[in-house]
Amino acid sequence: MDTGERPARLAVGVLGAGRVGSALGAALARAGHRVVAASGVSDASRRRVAERLGLTPSSPEEVVARADLVLLTVPDDALPGLVAGLAETGADLRGKLLVHTSGAYGLAVLNPAVEKGALPLALHPVMTFTGRDDDLSRLTGISFGVTAPEPLRMVAEALVIEIEGEPVWIEEKDRALYHAALANAANHMVTLIAESSELLRGIGVEEPGRLLGPLLGAALDNVLRLGLSGLTGPVVRGDAGTVRKHVDALILAAPEVADAYVVLARLTADRALAAGLLKPEAAECLLDALGGGG
């Protein structure tokens, strides 16, 4: 196995050719590697094997046998069982790069396979995948959370660069927190926007996206450029009366959203207070409006 800055051309196998696996497999093929086998359980995955990778679905055993690099692109909860199964079945893993794409897991989850001679890499693409045709183009220019044994670090980073990504080194001990930070921002943002859109539809706004799009675009730009200094709205202004009106309206319309609003408003107030953006007396009034400090 070449551990120089640029990996040799590799035979790639994909275990779990879902949204992520099929996109990464296609990206590696675009970079000059050969995708030689892929497996999929669902009808959609098997269809992606044919459409994105140009292959007939294979068994997991055949994928491992034919590949130099095996992508383990299955849901997080299925990853430990898949790795354990590969190790227990006696598949020849010696010298094969075993690459998973989970954000929360690091290298430890691959230990059963490493004990059989596999070379472990964790390469997490920081992007959402929808299964649509633009998944492959979404890989260009994005960051990948990279964790690898030190001798394989350059290989891991080179693979990411080859598919036009940007490697970001994440220590093994930090993987769960790294992934929590990403999920907290991206996944919860989707939930919040979906809830806000539903509230707007409920009062007769037919196209909530037309209201929310420019506002959210500006808010995202502000926070990425300015950090917390880009915060706007009634909390940072100390408008306790407005915040209380929000809570009262949400309790009537959507109590579960009201609960989330209160938690997030308290967190926002705490952050703004610590940053000197909110005066202590204004923060106290806000906490009262939100139902106390407890």
Answer whether 99's CB lies under 8 Å from 72's CB.
Answer: yes
Quote the CA–CA distance of 211 and 26 in Å, as a whole number.
Answer: 37
Confidence (pLDDT) at 4: 46
61 within 8 A of 91, measured Cβ to Cβ: yes
Please list the residues that pair with 121 across neighbouring strands.
99
> Strand 119-125 to strand 143-147: parallel, antiparallel, or no bridges (unpaired)?
antiparallel
Tokens of 111: 């230990």
pLDDT for the residue 131: 78
Which residues, in sequence order, are CB contacts of 156 under 8 Å at separation 6+? 121, 123, 146, 147, 148, 167
Q: Cα(137)–Cα(115) distance, rounded to whole angstroms?
A: 36
E strands along the chain, which residues? 11-15, 34-39, 69-72, 97-100, 119-125, 143-147, 166-169
Query: Tens-of-pLDDT digits for all 294 residues of the chain?
Result: 444 445 568 999 999 988 899 999 999 999 999 999 999 888 888 888 888 888 888 899 999 999 999 999 999 999 999 999 999 998 899 999 999 999 999 999 999 999 999 999 999 999 988 877 788 888 999 999 999 999 999 999 999 999 999 999 999 999 999 999 999 999 999 999 999 999 999 999 999 999 999 999 999 999 999 999 999 999 999 999 999 999 999 999 999 999 999 999 999 999 999 999 999 999 999 999 998 543
**Separation CA 245–CA 250 (nearest Å):** 9
Q: Quote the CA–CA distance of 134 and 123 in Å, as a whole number.
A: 20
User: Using CA atoms, how far apart are residues 256 and 135, in angstroms rounded to an integer?
Assistant: 33
Is the CB of residue 88 less than 8 Å from the CB of residue 31? no
Can you say whether residue 4 is alpha, beta or left, with left for phi > 0 and alpha for psi between -120 and 50 degrees?
beta
Burial class of residue 227, CB neighbours in 10 A (0-12, 13-18, 19+):
exposed
Structure confidence at residue 6 (pLDDT):
53
**Structure pTM?**
0.86
Q: Measured over all CA atoms, what is the biggest interatomic distance in the chain, rounded to whole angstroms?
A: 67
Q: Which two tokens stand for residue 73?
A: 């692109």
